[in-house]
Amino acid sequence: MTVLLIAEVSRIDGGSDVNMDATAKAMTAAAQLGEVHVLVAGEGVTGDGAATLEGAAKVLVADDALYANGLAEPVADLVVGLAGGYSHIVAPSTAAAKNVLPRIAALLDVMILPDVSGIVDADTFQRPIYAGNAIQTVRSSDAVKVLTIRTAGFEAAATTGSAPIEAVSAAGDPGLSSFVEDKVAESDRPELTSAGRVVSGGRGIGSEEDFAMVEKLADALGAAVGASRAAVDSGYAPNDWQVGQTGKVVAPELYVAVGISGAIQHLAGMKDSKVIVAINKDEDAPIFQIADYGLVADLFEAVPELTQKAS
């Protein structure tokens, strides 16, 4: 069995480099499957770091401007071109890999095995389902197994090796996508995951216009703004404000939940906050069970009043 491990490559200061932590953890999983070749695709990449990974038999370096901006299509094409000799194609379960690996699986006409957290044998894998509440064991009879590795489940491989490095040439531009720009979101507010205070709004706010009320309270408190998934799905707040199981996990000193019922998936993202304040008109709302301070009130009255007092 020979495994192709796709290294996670991050863009740093105009160049690219291997994200060693994610790649080293995926290496530990890959090494349980067979001999591992590591593919490093990027612009200006050397493969030197990947070559130190214990378990790497060979490092393949595709140094080309085509891979500079992390577009999934050229990388998928490159991997499909190399896939012939491999029993498994593996990558750490990162946002980039989750974009590339399903394309590879589709092009090879095999299934994708995402978020693998345990290797049973070369055909059998474990992965969490139902938000981690159950573990699924999947056996694949595909000729090539394409899997992403949930890195939290594996220790990082040591970096004491010295694998040989080989250049591989770019597959050519499939012309399916082109890079336009990267834009860093600018905000005067603190960053959500590291903020000391967070004010989040839920479906109870009722509209995008009224969500401005939550933002005003956040600004008065010097807080970051969060939202429940229902508020995001309803278009009241942008996606990257979502707090919870499928959003961001926050643990600020102060978390204010406005018009949020307190579903378990929301609590998964904020229950470790030091002081939780809930504003809800329903006194039986589950959020009150974990709130340190509960205000049973109409948010349209309570929030402007609080904002005025905090300003």
Ligand X SMILES: Cc1cc2nc3c(=O)[nH]c(=O)nc-3n(C[C@H](O)[C@H](O)[C@H](O)COP(=O)(O)OP(=O)(O)OC[C@H]3O[C@@H](n4cnc5c(N)ncnc54)[C@H](O)[C@@H]3O)c2cc1C
Query: Shortest approach of ligand X to residue 141 CB, angstroms?
Result: 29
Could you give the angle at the alpha carbon of 59 between the alpha carbons of 55 and 61, nearest 5°?
155
Interaction pattern, residues 279-298, with ligand X; x per rule: CB under 6 A: -xxx--x------------x
Contact between 260 and ligand X by CB under 6 A: the answer reads: yes
Of 155 and 282, CB closest to ligand X: 282
Query: Shortest approach of ligand X to residue 280 CB, angstroms?
Result: 4
Residue among 111, 263, 290, 310 that touches ligand X (CB under 6 A): 263
Contact between 259 and ligand X by CB under 6 A: the answer reads: yes
Does 49 belong to an annotated binding site?
no
Distance separating alpha carbons of residues 217 and 239, to the nearest angstrom: 20
Cα→Cα distances 95→74, 92, 148, 197, 308, Å: 16, 9, 11, 27, 41
Distance separating alpha carbons of residues 261 and 168, to the nearest angstrom: 54
What is the DSSP code string of 76-133? Answer: HHHHHHHGGG-SEEEEE--HHHHHHHHHHHHHHT--EEEEE-EEEETTEEEEEETTTT
Contact 196, 253 (CB under 8 A): yes
Does 37 belong to an annotated binding site?
no
Query: Shortest approach of ligand X to residue 210 CB, angstroms?
Result: 9
Does 32 belong to an annotated binding site?
no
6: left (phi > 0), else alpha (psi -120 to 50), else beta? beta
Contact 259, 278 (CB under 8 A): no
Of 43 and 210, CB closest to ligand X: 210
| Span near ligand X by CB under 6 A; candidates 42-50, 52-60, 157-165, 253-261 | 253-261
Handedness of CA 107, 111, 116, 122 (dihedral sign): negative
Residue among 47, 49, 244, 294 that touches ligand X (CB under 6 A): 244
Distance separating alpha carbons of residues 173 and 69, to the nearest angstrom: 13
Of 166 and 282, CB closest to ligand X: 282
Of 197 and 271, CB closest to ligand X: 271
Contact between 240 and ligand X by CB under 6 A: the answer reads: no
Distance separating alpha carbons of residues 147 and 126, to the nearest angstrom: 11
Query: Shortest approach of ligand X to residue 304 CB, angstroms?
Result: 12
Distance separating alpha carbons of residues 213 and 308, to the nearest angstrom: 11
| Span near ligand X by CB under 6 A; candidates 34-42, 65-73, 116-124, 237-245 | 237-245
Residue among 32, 245, 271, 310 that touches ligand X (CB under 6 A): 245
Burial of 139 (0-12, 13-18, 19+ CB in 10 A): exposed
Does 44 belong to an annotated binding site?
no
Of 70 and 202, CB closest to ligand X: 202
CA-only gyration radius of the chain, Å? 23
Amino acid at the residue 97: A
Residue among 48, 138, 300, 310 that touches ligand X (CB under 6 A): 300
| Span near ligand X by CB under 6 A; candidates 4-12, 74-82, 106-114, 222-230 | 222-230
Pick out residues in 177-206 that bind ligand X (CB under 6 A). 202-204
Contact residues for ligand X (CB under 6 A)?
Answer: 131, 202-204, 228-231, 242-247, 259-261, 263, 265-266, 269, 280-282, 285, 298-300
